Amino acid sequence: MNAPYDGDRGQGAGGAGSSSGPPVPPRAGQEGEAPDPYLQHAYDHDPYRAQDLAAQDPVAEALYDRAAHPPPPPGTYQEPQALYQQPQAAQHAPDPRLWAQTPPPEPAGPSRHLPYGDNAATTQYVGVDDLVTQASDDRGEQDAFAHLFRDQEGSGRPPGPPAEPEAAPAPVPPKSGGRAAGILKSSALMAAGTLVSRLTGFVRSLVITAALGAALLGDSYTIAYTLPTMIYILTVGGGLNSVFVPQLVRSMKDDEDGGEAYANRLLTLVMVTLGVIVGIAVFAAPWLIHMMSPTIANDVAANSVAVTFARYCLPTIFFMGVHVVMGQILNARGKFGAMMWTPVLNNIVMIVTFGLFIWVYGSSAESRMGVETIPAEGVRLLGIGTLLGLVVQALAMIPYLREAGFRFRPRFDWKGHGLGKTVRLAKWTVLFVLANQAGVIVVTQLATSAGKLSGKDGTGFLAYSNAQLIWGMPQAIITVSVMAALLPRISRAAHDDDPGAVRDDISQGLRNSAVAIVPVAFTFLALGLPMCTLLYASSGTEAARSMGFILMAFGLGLIPYSVQYVVLRGFYAYEDTRTPFYNTVIVAAVNAAASALCYVILPAQWAVVGMAASYGLAYAVGVGIAWRRLSSRLGGDLDGARVVRTYARLCLAAIPAAVVGGGVGFALLKALGDGAGGSVVALVCGSVVLLGVFFVAAKKMRIEELNGMVGMVRGRLGR
């Protein structure tokens, strides 16, 4: 009944070809007859039964050890051939009975495959927007009807002999540019500059602590040194850092002169504004010191030293603003390195200055110098060196501007050229930093008071600042560098009303930075104590241990702090500065309230530790609010499931790593002591164990971003 039709086969004279009897299938190789395309593979051996031994014997399914016979590695299966044709034998056919066999030789160039079947053309690597993929290559759209046409061409007629393989086209030389390559180069340059800047800044902090100690004298200088930065951010810094980048990009795109006139007007306006601010601030220095720390202001000797330091440091406000505007002009023109590398010069000048101070007067541990005993010449030396560092940093930007083709010409025609819109946008950013700095002022006052009440070194504002400096280094090196390179592109996507591109870039930045931010945060929690006893040993064992506990309290707050930074870039791309302001008000209020609570209920020597933990708690609250608002802005989709899954898996891998690594470090620190030698051994061994356990756990969880990073490294090393 189901036999193929054979009624006309072999009919000839005399009915020799009678149709009676069962049909006979054609024999292979029978001359004069074409093979039936519907029967040629009907009785072939199943090639897939040999892949799974348990499939041949269903009774032994439970006894089959699949772990002993894993499937062949991915990437070794042949591509499907056209219908009714036998696939051509590959030159280096894989043996399915072998696992992790040596791959066949592959040509060099873009077609090279990575180990274990990872394809460089399809694998998503960790980096900024597919850094090492071929995203910048032009790929033609696939014709969906080509497959249907090919199938129809091959059906209904016997297959012919296999076509001769066409000669492979000549390899196309890789493109030198492209979006991914440009972002990779910019991010790598910025990350390197930021890394060197942060490292030299860290050395600067070590030298300052060694010269002035971690008691009242160190707190007095630290407050005077941070006061210009606070005033700068409160006045124009917030707007310059976040609002003017999109405006500069738009002026370059829309203005006939490429935005040069707009940049000159902006730079002139900032210079005039900052000059006025510096004059007012220098005159009001005593009041500003009292606002920052009533504890220091009420001490006559400490107040005198702090006011003198402040009057040397406050003119740096002008040079900070000039440096930032020049850097943003370069960033808008695709030049990202100068803004990250020139701060190194400032750090070098300050390191030399405080090194001279130590050479003349000795370290704090040797001289036991305080606010009553520091000489006026020493104050003058430190003040001039601090001011000179910012001057050198700002002037070093001029050659980079000339190289980019920008020439500064003062322009005072500010009205009617778009600066009014920028100022209106910046007012919310000013309120944003005002709310943020209000919380900083509260913490500064409480920390200096707690340090004086405790009577112990390392429990005041300098210890808080030093621990926060270490804690913020990964954020500045990783997250800030990535988002600084992406911010102009996010701004263009927002300007083009493409929320999908904005969402993808923000999701990419969050997930890529998390691969490093999460394990580093748990490292601070587990190994903060040996880290600080090693780095700040010159300030005394007691002060170094106190800083270690503060760093441990900061630890996990690095995760929400990094997420908050990335999410707020989405609002700035849409020129929405009001929402970040309201969000920061909440963060500052939570931080101030929690810090005040710690100051009241905790002993004085532990109050600053509680304030450090409050910092991370405040940003965790802020992330929840900012995330929902940005998700609504982008149409309810911020790739939340994928981002949360990445962070959750990384945290699950980091928890056992922190427990094991921290236990090893603590045990070694107890056995060898908290001196320099014991701290080095504890930190190195604990870090190696922690990172090893984290890597193994993350690989077991198959975290996509980490696997991509490993694949990128292996691909770059050619292994």
- Residue list, annotated binding site for ATP: 700
DSSP code at position 456? S
Q: At 113, give phi and psi (nearest 5°).
A: -100, 145
Half-sphere exposure of residue 96: CA atoms within 13 angstroms, side-chain side: 10
Q: Could you tell me which of 319, 20, 665, 2 has the C-alpha nearest to residue 10? A: 20
- The answer to whether residues 125 and 180 touch, using CB atoms and an 8 Å cutoff, is no
Contact 493, 505 (CB under 8 A): yes
- In terms of C-beta density within 10 A (0-12 exposed, 13-18 middle, 19 or more buried), how is residue 436 classed? buried
Spell out the residues 6+ positions from residue 649 whose beta carbon is closer than 8 angstroms to its own. Answer: 698, 701, 703
CA geometry: angle 398, 403, 404, nearest 5 deg = 100
Contact 227, 314 (CB under 8 A): yes
Q: Would you tell me the crossing angle of helices 461-474 and 179-212 to the nearest 10 degrees? A: 160
Q: Which parts are annotated binding residues?
A: 700
Annotate 574-590 with b (16+ C-beta within 10 A) or e (fewer). bbbbebbbebbbbbbbb
Calpha distance 422→325 (Å, rounded): 14
**Longest Cα–Cα distance in the chain:** 133
Closest CA to 571 of 243, 112, 200, 281: 243
Label residues 307-319 b or e (16+ Cβ within 10 Å = b): bbbbbbbbbbbbb
